[in-house]
Every structure is written in structure tokens, then in C-alpha cells.
Chains A and B, each alone.
Chain A
Amino acid sequence: MVDSKQQWKAWIYLAPAIVLLLVFTVWPIINTVIMAFQNDYNAMAAVGGQTFTIGIENFKRAVEYRNFLTCLKNTALLCVITVPASTLLALLISAALNSIGPLKKALTTVFFLPYVTNSIAIGMVFAAMFNMVRTVRVVQTAGIINNVIMFFGGEPINWINAGSTYWANMTVMIIYIIWNALPFKILILLGGMQSINKQYYDAAKVDGSSRSRILWRITVPLLSPMIAYVVITGFIGGFKEYTSIVGVFGETMGPVSDKGRLNTMVGYIYDTLPRSDYGRASAAALILFGIILVVTLINLWVSKKRVHY
């Protein structure tokens, strides 16, 4: 049924998408590679007709740039901590949700709520919750989180204000990122659990297996493709972490006393743009792509060994 009329008609239907993709997706991929491998590429000079030697100078400059390692460390730490933690928590919540009758729908609705929020806006709420307000040297309000800590007899902690420690900052970010990452994972995992054949559970009950045994021996293995999926997408998203930090700390990417302390890879790339140093920005973007690719491949490799279908 393929006739020539359908041929050109198909291309007309696709034309808008193709044109836009060529300009804003395909060309950028090519151009990024071109810019990254031209030593000391500079947009202004390029327009002026200057040519550049081919090489990996940009990658060297990107790595040697003062805050590159900080950004890489922050990104990697946040990933390595938040992805497993949020996956585990999402798994427990999903399993709990899946096992109850009444209130299941209402609770599912509550747990998905953070998904539809604006991560900058809610980041500002988290900042308010952890913020200490001081006038001169007297603490006026320590923030609700510190209030809770003090209620249980603890010492208030300077979480995000000037003079706070790196790990205090990171703790806030970890809590916020996990809070933010839960709904997507719960949605996927709960959906997966609901599609598991009930007969497996009936069989396990007949055998007298305990609840935790059922979770780890039946649910998790049968759910492993979904778990692999949320872990992989979690890592990909994690390496692109940026706006949640802007939400809590503002564009200073850190407490006032130590700006840029919490910057990430994506932040690094964006900070480079207004300087027109496209060579270094492109190199950094390719490095990020490379890292994501490698991490995804490792994830796939591990899941191939561990995922049971």
C-alpha cells in the first residue's frame, strides 16, 4: 500500500518536527562536538574568521578550571546518596501502600503531590524551614527544624546560613532531593507492584512466608525491572541536579559565606555561557554526557546481572 503519494504526505506531516529538531537538537549535537575539540575556541574570534587547531585543550581547561572538581564532587555525592536512599524509601512506601485497603487512594494522592510542585518554590520553603533568623548575635528563631531538634533536647544547627558547614548544607540538599524524587519512584514502583500476579502472594501465604520475606524474596525480584528503571533515571536526573539547589540557596549556590560551594556540573556549564567560552562549556557538557553514559552503562550491566524477569 506504499504509494508515492503517501511518501511525500508523510514528510509533510513530519516537516515541522524535523525542521525544529534539525535546528535545536541535531545541529547542537554536532556543533558541541566541533567546538569542544577546537583548542581555545572562542565565539568572538570565530566570527572574526580565526581558525583553531584541533585538540583536547578545552577538556584540559575545563578540568583544571578552579571549581570543576567541586562541582563534580557535589554532583557525584548527591547522586550516590540520594538515588539509593530515595529508591529504598520509595520501595518501602510502595510496598506499604500496596498492602493496605482503606485510605490507599488518599495516601497515594498525598505521596504523589510533591511531583506537581515547582522545585524552586518549594526549595524556598525548605530554606525557610532550615533558616535561622538572627539579629546581631541573638538567635530570634532557629527555624522549625531546629525547634524540633531543641524540643528533643538537641543543639540547634546552622544549616544554611553564613558560616554553616559543608555537610550541614549537603544534609539539607539530600533531604530536599529525596523528598522531591519520591513521587516519581513511588508511582512507577507501585504501578509495577499492582501488575504482579496475585497468585505469587497467595502461594507465599500458603507456604507461611513472613511479610518481610515476601517483600524481599518475591516483590523485589519481580519488580527488579522497574527498580532498575527508577535507579537509572534517578542517576541520569541526579547528574543534572541544579534547580533544587537554586531553590534552597539561590543562585549563589551556597551559603553567603561560601558562594558556589554547592555548585554542580550543570551549574558549571551554565556559568560558563555568559563568558562566551563555548569551547570550555562544550567540553564540560561532553564530559557530563560521558559520565552519564558510563554510569548508565554500569547500571545496565549491574541490572543485567541482577534483574530477574
Chain B
Amino acid sequence: MKLVLENITKVFPNRNKGEEDVVAVNNFSFEIPDGKLVGLLGPSGCGKSTTLYMICGLQKPSGGKIFFGEEDVTNLPPEHRGVGLVFQNYALYPHMTVRQNILYPLQNLKGDDKLSKEEMLKRTLEVAKLVQIDNLLDRKPSELSGGQQQRVAIARALVKMPRVLLLDEPLSNLDARLRLQTREEIRRIQKETGITTVFVTHDQEEAMSISDMIVVMKLGIVQQIGQPQRVYDDPANLFVAKFLGTPPINVLKGEVRGGMLFIGEEAILPVKGVADQPVTVGIRPEGFVLDERGPLHCQLSGVEVMGRDVSVVATHEASLNPVIRSIISAESGVDTTAQEIRYSLKPHKVLLFHAETEERIPVEV
């Protein structure tokens, strides 16, 4: 099922009289092709959960339209949209067994959709098998681990065979090891069912790792939409560049003069087709190459060993962050006793941004 948002806006009236209303989502448009897994990504308060609730129907948009396929569902209540929602804290009914929890949505079906008791139990078992909890059906939620509860919540959302599956911060209540495992699981379930799925997260790694598409949001405004790798490689602005990637991108003050990028007085890279101007330079940690004759001089402050790679921590007076962090293969042999370290840079890992608007400045290749 294709999912289309058209100029969606959500305004919450301010409770304190006389103060401005809060615009949670501002003029949001995008289209999710059928059967894709999409991550809504952004820091807290960016409007991603509100967007999810509007797709689900728990909140009504103040303006704009929502389509499932060709059907306008903007004014449809949640139960008529055919959506499944998985809550951050799972929202399992604590007094019901796993089986009763999964059955519960089916028992609400009315009219033509009404199912026989056998049919309901059959569907429950099928979906329980899909998420691999069919051996836990008679337990109460309190007797399950966090990961198992998550699966039950997904099963409950899927049992009605929704057109769209929505997940609100699905991994945030799990420990690190389970998180890795569960995100693979979500990916598998989504692939197997082929249901168009939208999930919300503030964790960029999580979003990048399993999504077909990510939507980066900030303060109610969509910053960029695209495939994870494309967004990472080609961010629309400094916010997106900073938000994606661990360790985060290094940001330095720079200037373009005569088609050449300068950091301080050092000529770093030729940048074709960029007018002379002060710029903000973003350099991905993996964009540094150790080079005794490299143009970027940094003061070395430490080396963190991470196994395959090392993380070199250095400082530079033009840096807008306290340190510059680069990721370098452990075999390249960093001299940890040196005072100074010199880098050359991989051109496609160096991104230029307008110094004031923070918009991306394209560089001709």
C-alpha cells in the first residue's frame, strides 16, 4: 500500500493564553512506495511521533491530506484505516495473556469483518509463529523479557493484517545486544509480510541500518528524504550531516578563495564551481588519510584503539568542535608520540555548507 502525506501540518494550541501556538509538524509532504520500510528520524521534539500519530489517526492534522493508496483517510478514525501501531513501551494489557492480547484487536471487528472464533485463534497462532512467540501464548506480559514483549506488541499490531504498520521508537526500551537482534527481526518480519512500515526513532544508526528510506526531521520541518546511504553521502544541510554518522562529522571553519578551499591558511582541496565565500566545512571521520605531506596540520591529543580501526583524536584551531576525530585503519601505523599529525582528505568526504544558512554548497566533480 502506497502511503502519501500531502502538506501535513499539525498545530497545537498553546495552553498558556497569549503565547504562540506550537507547530509540531510544518507542511510535511512525502510518498512512501508500497512495501517499503521507512525510518522517521530526528531529535526529540522534532515532530516525528506526531507525524506517526497522524498517519495512525490518533491525531488529526490541522491541514493537509493523508492517502493510503488512492484512498483519502485524513478524516477516517484509526480503526477504519487498517493500521497497526506498536508503542514504545509496548502497551500490552497486563491482565491478559499473550494470546488474549493478540486476540483483542480481532474481537473488535464488526459487521462483514467479523471473524469466527476458530478463525481468530488461527490468525493469532499464525502471527505468533511469524514473530516466533507461539510457545509463549499462555504467559502474562510480566513474565516476558523486553524483547519478547516487543514481539507480542508487533504480533498484536499485525494480527488485523493492517495496510500500514507503524512503530514508535521500537528499540529504545531494549538493551544494546537485543537491539541489534530485534532490528534484524523487524526487517525480516517486514520483508516477509511486505507491509508498508513506518517507524520513528531518534537513533540514526538504527534508522540507517534497516530502512529502505529515511526521513530526517527537525522542529517540525522535513530536512531530507532518501535512501540512507544517499542521505549520508549527500546531506542537504549541516543539520542532516551532523545528525547522521557515528562518530559524528567534524566541523571546521573555512573559506573558498579562487576555487580552492582554505582552512586557516592551509590550502586543502580544489573546489570547482564554488564562489569565493566563508564556508563551514564538514569532514567525515573516515575522510582523513594519514599523509606526512598532507595539507591539514592538527595537534595530536590521543589515539583510541577500536580493534580493526583506530580513532585519532586531534585538535585544530579552526575546528568548531573541541576535537577532530578521524577513523583510520590500525595498520596505517600512527605515531602516538608525535606532537603534530598531518592529513590529506578524501574529496567526496568533505562537504561544504553555507556559513550562515548552513545549506549545502554543491561542488562540481
Q: How far is the CB of B79 from chain A (nearest CB, A)?
A: 14
Contact with A along B50-63 (1 / 0, CB 8 A): 00000000111000
Shortest CB-to-CB span from B52 to chain A, Å, is 15
Chain A, Cβ-Cβ closest to B59: A1
CB-based nearest A residue for B58: A1
Nearest-neighbour CB distance to chain A for B61, whole angstroms, equals 13
Q: Which residues of B contact A3 (CB under 8 A)?
A: 60
Q: How far is the CB of A242 from chain B (nearest CB, A)?
A: 43
The answer for the CA separation of A3 and B60 in the assembled complex, in Å, is 10
Docked Cα-Cα span, A1 to B60, in Å, equals 7
Question: How many residues of chain A have a CB within 8 Å of chain B?
Answer: 2
On chain A, the residues within 8 Å of B59 by CB distance are 1
Q: How far is the CA of A191 from the CA of B23 in the complex (A)?
A: 46
Considering only residues 89-142 of chain A, those with a C-beta below 8 Å from chain B are: none
- Main secondary structure, interface of B, reads loop
Q: Tell me the minimal C-beta distance from A9 to chain B in angstroms.
A: 14
Closest CB of chain B to A14's CB: distance in Å?
A: 23
List CB contacts (< 8 Å) of B30-81 with chain A.
58-60
| Closest chain A CB from B62 CB (angstroms) | 13
Give A5 Cβ to nearest chain B Cβ, in Å: 10
Size bracket of the B interface: under 10
Q: In the assembly, what is the distance between CA of A49 and CA of B250, in Å?
A: 90
* B11 to A: closest C-beta gap in Å: 14
A4 to chain B, nearest CB (A): 12
C-alpha spacing A3/B58, complex, angstroms: 12
Within 8 A of B (CB), among A176-197: none
Closest Cβ neighbor of B13 among chain A residues: A2
Taking CB as reference atom, which chain B residue is nearest A1? B59
Scan residues 227-250 of chain B and give those whose CB is less than 8 A from a CB of chain A.
Answer: none
Residue of A nearest to B53 (CB): A1
**Residues of the A chain whose Cβ atoms lie less than 8 Å from the Cβ of B60:** 3
Shortest CB-to-CB span from A7 to chain B, Å, is: 15
Least distance between B126 CB and chain A CB atoms (Å): 33
When distances are taken between beta carbons in the complex, the residues of chain A under 8 Å from B58 are: 1
B residues near A1, Cβ cutoff 8 Å: 58-59
Q: Name A1-46 residues within 8 Å CB distance of B.
A: 1, 3
Least Cβ–Cβ distance between B30 and chain A, in angstroms: 24
Shortest beta-carbon distance, A287 to chain B, in Å? 42
What is the CB-to-nearest-CB distance from B86 to chain A, in angstroms, rounded to a whole number?
A: 20
- Closest CB in chain B relative to A1 CB, distance in Å: 6
A50 to B58, CA, bound (A): 60
Q: Which parts of B184-220 form the interface with A (CB within 8 Å)?
A: none
Mask of B145-162 contacts with A, CB within 8 angstroms, 1/0: 000000000000000000
B152 to chain A, nearest CB (A): 26
Q: A1 vs B58: C-alpha distance in the bound complex, in angstroms?
A: 8
Cα–Cα distance between A31 and B263 once the two chains are bound (Å): 85
Complex CA gap A3/B57 in Å reads: 13
CB closest chain-B residue, reference A3: B60
> Nearest Cβ in chain A — how far from B155, in angstroms?
27
Q: Kindly state the separation between the CA atoms of A1 and B56 in the bound complex, as whole angstroms.
A: 13
Give bound CA distance, A1 to B77, whole Å: 12
A28–B155 CA distance with the chains assembled, in angstroms:
55
Taking the closest CB of chain A, its distance from the CB of B25, in whole angstroms, is 15
- Give B41 Cβ to nearest chain A Cβ, in Å: 25
Return B325 CB to nearest CB of chain A, in Å: 43
A175-B59 Cα distance, complex, nearest whole Å = 62
Min CB gap B301→A, angstroms: 42
Q: How far is the CA of A1 from the CA of B10 in the complex (A)?
A: 12
- Min C-beta distance of A111 to chain B, whole Å: 33
Minimum CB–CB distance for B214 against chain A, Å: 28
Determine the distance from Cα of A3 to Cα of B59 in the docked complex, in whole angstroms: 11
Least CB distance, A216 to chain B, in whole angstroms: 43
Nearest Cβ on chain A to B161's Cβ, whole angstroms: 26
Rounded to whole Å, the gap between the CB of B123 and the closest CB of chain A is: 30
Write the nearest CB–CB distance from B151 to chain A, whole angstroms: 29
Instruction: Tell me, in angstroms, the Cα distance from A3 to B75 when the chains sit together.
Output: 12
Closest beta carbon of chain A to B12's beta carbon, Å: 11
- In the bound assembly, the distance between CA atoms of A1 and B59 in angstroms comes to 6
Which 3 pairs between the two chains have the least Cβ-Cβ distance?
Answer: A1-B59, A1-B58, A3-B60
What are 3 A-B pairs at a CB distance below 8 A?
A: A1-B58, A1-B59, A3-B60
Chain B residues engaging chain A, CB cutoff 8 angstroms: 58-60
